[in-house]
Chain A
Amino acid sequence: MNRKLKNTIASKLMLLATISSTSLVFIMAFVLYRKSVKIFSNRSLIDLLLKSSWAPTKGDFGFYPFITSTVLVTGLAMSLSIPLCLLTAIYLSEYAPSKVRGIIKPILDLLSGIPSVVFGLWGVSFVVPIIRDYISQFVGVTTTGYCLLSGGIVLALMVFPIIISVSDEVLRSVPFEVREASFSLGATKWQTVKYAVIRRALPGIIAAIILGFSRAFGETMAVLMVVGNVAKVPSSLFDPAYPLPSLIANNYGEMMSIPLYDSAIMFAALLLMLVISFFSIIARIIQLKIERRSL
């Protein structure tokens, strides 16, 4: 009896812990909604989301530039990082001699531990000048270097370690028998990787990319320092952008002094949360589809 009771208590406690940690998401969303509801009083949701003019002291709150900037910076970062990361992960898990792996893995871990401010400073002193002085001339545009592209590059570097180490683990967890079977059919190493290993590891790799994505969306400091922060929809890679996290971080200071500003900032936070959930849900659906297909 005693043992059973202990068991029940333990399992209930764990259930409670699970519920409280997952309900946090809903509590956060609810609080953000409550705090931002004031801004809906004389504006429609459509106006807030699709208008481009941003002038808080005049009461203009158009979030369109911030939403597009967020999506663009993140999208750019992911399109830069996904191919590189996957090739690196494949090399590390399938091709690299253990000695090389032993050197590279710790370096990647180190990279993931570097604070985002350091990435930002590095971006300001390295990426921005290179884009301003060389890449812009190569492409034939003039830019200050504080632009969408800088933000994308810095962000891509920041998600590198996550995507690489998770995909590497996933690839290595594919049973060796899969490779053996493929080799025994006369497949080359690359064919084996391409048709057997990756196919098996795909859901895990997508999970790794989702992880990277969710970090990229919210990464504030480094992006803020190089992206230019101009509230206008960027029309090229060399235009400045203004993602939502930067908006929140920069204007946190004006919350007290301009009417409605606090609820606008809260709304930005809510929006960021919704955008991230939207993308992770889509990614999750893709992952499920692939898992089902490969079964």
Chain B
Amino acid sequence: MIVVSFCLPNLFGLSRASNKWVFNMNYKYIGIISILLIISIFTYNTFTYVESKNTITISGAWALYPMMIKWSEEYQKINPNVRIEISAGGAGKGMVDALAGLVDIGMVSREIYPEEINRGAFWVSVVKDAVISTVNRDNPILEDILEKGIKRSIFIDIYVHGNITTWGQVIGNPKITDEIHLYTRSDSCGAAETWANYMGYRQEDLKGIAVYGDPGVAEAVKNDRLGIGFNNINYAYDAKTNLPVEGLMIVPLDLNEDGEVNENEDFYENRNSIINAIIIGAYPSPPARELNLVTKDSFTGATKDFVRWILTEGQNYALETGYVPLSSERCAEWLKTLEGQK
């Protein structure tokens, strides 16, 4: 098409320029164009032929996106004839795309709802990660937060009821009147749903400015001194340094509600420590959760091979990418589900 549009102005230009040899030139151009078109039609067909055989299309959760990139790279190394195309757009998109048959695999980072199962959603869990609460590094009460953590009930007051609106109220100090700038996700997503589940609610109950995508929330909190948000682990910690992303601090959850962060609750220092906390169950679930791959009815062909690989060898890449691999029993269960012998 590009070739054609380049030639067309020439065609017109010539016919205006000199009427005499326009006729021959036109035919010449038309000849070239048609040859190119014929070539392109043939090559297009061969391309689509290859595609229909070995391309796996994937869309959905931001939470699984970095993991899936890693898996697809590794898988394509050992299976050079497979092409994997991945796009991120939130768990909801992954679910809708998978159920509509637009993609082979939908990445869904939340529970699967009964309505979706009724519509033929079939899924296996592949890894675990967690949603964590983040604030800006220059937060006015940063030291208090790191020392005391934030209780679940206070999160509920901030996110759902909206009756805590200043940072002073979080620690019971009326002198601090800095407003809380609350951020949530605009796209329907697993992170927000899981975070809401932790408080006992749904995504639509969360108040706050809704920003698009996991990186969007991280960016907003990073740039707003008064901001608080939530992220999947891999968007709150830097993959290279393993430390929290520059400008972000992770809020410790005060799990036993005693008003301080003791050594059993202090595992936010780097990505490995929080992953370890998820493995041993110190970090609660939710906000930790299993991440799912969804399709309509069942996985087949090349896609099934890929999912099987993820549940076996693929698990070895989870830790280095910043995810929690499933236990071997759990993997075996899901492999059975995958093979249809639930």
Contacts and interface: CB of A to CB of B under 8 A. Distances in A.
B32 to A, nearest CB: 27
A166 B35 CA distance: 37
Contacts of A254: 92, 188
B23 to A, nearest CB: 21
A124 B210 CA distance: 13
Interface in A186-215: none
Interface string A225-258: 1001110000000001000001001111111111
B115 A256 contact: yes
A253 B187 contact: yes
Interface stretch (B66-74, B217-225, B276-284, B315-323): B217-225
Given A55-B204, A225-B212, A256-B115, A144 B181 contact: yes
Contacts of A249: 187
A34 to B, nearest CB: 18
Contacts of A246: 186
B116 interface: yes
A79 interface: no
A30 B160 CA distance: 39
B307 interface: no
B119 A256 contact: yes
Contacts of B208: 230
A291 to B, nearest CB: 32
A252 B99 CA distance: 13
Contact of A250 (B202, B207, B210): B210
A257 B210 contact: no
A142 interface: yes
B61 to A, nearest CB: 10
A253 B91 contact: yes
A129 B90 contact: no
A146 B209 contact: yes
A154 interface: no
Contacts of A85: none
A115 interface: no
B186 A57 contact: no
Contacts of B94: 253
Find the residue from A124, A142, A256, A259 having the highest chain B CB count within 10 A.
A256
B202 A57 contact: yes
A35 interface: no
The prevalent SS among residues of B at the interface is mixed
Given A230-B210, A258-B115, A144 B220 contact: yes
B93 interface: yes
Contacts of A229: 186, 209-212
A229 B208 CA distance: 9
A125 B218 CA distance: 12
A56 B188 CA distance: 13
Contacts of B325: none
Interface in A12-69: 54-57
B126 interface: no
Contact of A257 (B115, B211, B220): B115
A216 interface: no
Interface string B197-234: 00000101101111110001001100110010000000
Interface string A107-125: 0000000000000100011
A95 B329 CA distance: 77
B227 A144 contact: yes
B134 to A, nearest CB: 15
A255 B216 contact: no
B179 interface: yes
A172 interface: no
Contact of A253 (B92, B207, B209, B211): B92
Nearest to A58: B204
Interface string A87-131: 000000000000000000000000000000000100011001100
Contacts of A142: 179
A132 interface: yes
A257 B116 CA distance: 6
Contacts of A144: 181, 183, 209, 220, 224, 227
A224 interface: yes
Contacts of B335: none
Nearest to B227: A144
B113 interface: yes
A250 B187 contact: yes
Contacts of B186: 224, 229, 246, 250
Contact of B204 (A57, A120, A225): A57
Find the residue from B115, B181, B189, B211 having the highest chain A CB count within 10 A.
B211
Interface in B36-69: none
The 3 closest A-B CB pairs, nearest first, are: A253-B92, A229-B210, A253-B188
11 contacts: A124-B220, A128-B220, A144-B224, A224-B212, A230-B208, A230-B209, A252-B92, A253-B90, A253-B96, A256-B116, A257-B95
Given A129-B223, A142-B179, A246-B186, 4 more contacts: A144-B220, A230-B210, A251-B92, A252-B96
Interface of A: 54-57, 120, 124-125, 128-129, 132, 142, 144-146, 224-225, 228-230, 240, 246, 249-259
